[in-house]
Amino acid sequence: AQSVSQHNHHVILSEAASLELGCNYSYGGTVNLFWYVQYPGQHLQLLLKYFSGDPLVKGIKGFEAEFIKSKFSFNLRKPSVQWSDTAEYFCAVKLVGDMRFGAGTRLTVKP
């Protein structure tokens, strides 16, 4: 089965700082890629997804991610974070039906 690695366990930023969260996966075939967010006390919701086409995908709340096939990476970015972005972020890889998640990155944004 494929595996998903998220490099950062806990990231602390000040408001207006730029964000980049790393995600790498192990499978070499055709995959679908996702970033999910879990705000405190809430359930997981989709931030953005990549199925095919333009490798730079834009999601909700100003987030974007770039799929780099040669690097097996799908990093999440946001130019300027807000306090309300404090949450846990999960990268996920889907191969046909099977879907696996990374360990998650906790983001804390200080006002």
Partner 1 sequence: GAGVSQSPSNKVTEKGKDVELRCDPISGHTALYWYRQSLGQGLEFLIYFQGNSAPDKSGLPSDRFSAERTGGSVSTLTIQRTQQEDSAVYLCASSLVGQGLNTEAFFGQGTRLTVV
Q: How far is CA 76 from each of CA 13, 16, 50, 61, 84, rounded to the nearest angstrom?
A: 15, 16, 12, 12, 17
Query: Residues 12 to 71: which contact partner 1 by CB under 8 A?
Result: 32, 34, 36, 43-46, 49, 51
Two tokens, residue 2: 């494929």
Two tokens, residue 41: 């006390």
Query: Residues 73 to 102: which contact partner 1 by CB under 8 A?
Result: 90, 92, 94, 96-102
Kindly tell me which of 43 and 53 has the beta carbon lying closer to partner 1: 43
Kindly tell me which of 77 and 100 has the beta carbon lying closer to partner 1: 100
Check if the beta carbon of residue 4 is closer than 8 Å to that of residue 12: no
Under the rule (CB under 8 A), what is the footprint of partner 1?
1, 6, 32, 34, 36, 43-46, 49, 51, 90, 92, 94, 96-104
